[in-house]
Amino acid sequence: MVNMINFIAVTRYKQFQECTAYELNELRAIIINGWPDTKQETPHAIRMYWTNVTKSLYQTV
């Protein structure tokens, strides 16, 4: 039973790592290439950051 729990924990951890890496790669690409004009054009994986970007843009203007 303990081995099964450990296997599930390791599997979930690997999934978390993969999802995080994908999200960070998407975010990196957007930062380098520039943010889209609308939230709908932003890749789904990083839309949660859209509000922060628009807040930052308005604060620097």
- 46-61: pLDDT as tens digits: 888 888 776 665 555 4
d(CA 46, CA 1): 37
pLDDT of residue 2: 56
Task: Read off the pTM.
Answer: 0.64
Calculated CA dihedral for residues 30, 61, 39, 35, nearest 10 degrees: -20
What are the helix (H) ranges across the chain?
2-33, 50-60
Average pLDDT over residues 25-29: 91
Please check whether residue 42 is in contact with residue 50, taking contact to mean a CB–CB distance below 8 angstroms.
Answer: yes
